[in-house]
Amino acid sequence: MQLTLNKILVTIVVWGLISMQLFAQFDKFCIEFHPSFLTGSKLQVDKADDGYTMCFQSNGINQQCAVPDSFAVVLEDFLSSYQCTNKTMINTILHKSVLQNGDTITEREICIGTDGITVAGEIQFAGQIKPFQFWSPRKNDKNHELVALLFSLMNNSLTDTVIVNYQERLEQYFDFGLGLKKISDKPLQYKLYGGISEDKSKQLLNFFEKLPKNKYVYIDMSNFEGMGTMFDDDFLEVTEEHKHLFWIKCSPIAKKSLERAEIASNRIQ
């Protein structure tokens, strides 16, 4: 009797988990990126018989591939609890608490944006279409968490150089910090991309400080988009301290920036 009861309980739990998984599945997820100074793009994920497929489109770009099962599970879980809202550059609200007469008061003010990025899309879920829209989300925001998840999916699935370069530029519109990634260990190679502004200085200096001085290091600058003159001394210093450091595949603006920093021409490739 006890054994039969246990089997019944196990069956109920298994069917419960299956039902939860089926409920979490979506039929279609579509999102469009509209950055202020870059061509827009669209990512669409569709349910297929054996999983999900994705299609990424932009000007001259149209690539399709399967969504890895590991990412599909994470995306299903996230979207099942995602609150679709409509926030534009006009109605983005900032919250702050102030103390007035011994009471904590939450003040709200309308923030009107002049550039940045508008993101819009929809989720087709259990026969319903749920639209959403937001503008330039910041880190620790649910919308930014969604963007981070999608960039992780794209970075691991789309490897064409043209698409990678576009995504690196698109990434600059979000709160991801310094555009930096490791390309390989042997040889040790990194890619520094996008622009460098004052708010990224700490990340840049931390990266420079951790570079080994006894190894050849190559930094890919093919998608670099510029920096302020305040960083010239930092680039010159790290180059002089690391005798085996080379700046490679330099974009025109990267070459101009490095030359302005008075880095020796034999270290710029």
The share of the chain scoring above pLDDT 90, in percent, equals 76
Q: What is the mean pLDDT of residues 122-139?
A: 92
Phi–psi pair at 147, nearest 5 degrees: -60, -45
Query: 107 near 61, Cβ under 8 Å?
Result: no
Supply the DSSP string of 117-134, one letter for each residue.
Answer: EEEEEEEEETTEEEEEEE
pLDDT at 15: 38
- Its CATH architecture, for the domain 180-267, is 2-Layer Sandwich (3.30)
Q: Higher-confidence residue: 18 or 6?
A: 6
Per the prediction, the chain carries an average pLDDT of 86
Supply the DSSP string of 193-209, one letter for each residue.
Answer: -EEE-GGGHHHHHHHHH
- Tokens 């001394």 sit on residue: 233
Alpha carbon 252 to chain centroid, angstroms: 25
- Its CATH architecture, for the domain 26-88+115-171, is 2-Layer Sandwich (3.30)
Query: 120 near 133, Cβ under 8 Å?
Result: yes
Tens digit of each residue's pLDDT (9 = 90 or more) over 151-163: 999 999 999 999 9
Q: Is 137 exposed, middle or buried (0-12, 13-18, 19+ CB in 10 A)?
A: buried
Q: What is the mean pLDDT of residues 140-156?
A: 95
Where do the domains of the chain lie?
A: 26-88+115-171, 180-267
Query: What is the model's pTM?
Result: 0.81
The share of the chain scoring above pLDDT 70, in percent, equals 81
Indicate if the pLDDT at residue 2 is higher than 60. Answer: no
Q: Is 257 exposed, middle or buried (0-12, 13-18, 19+ CB in 10 A)?
A: buried
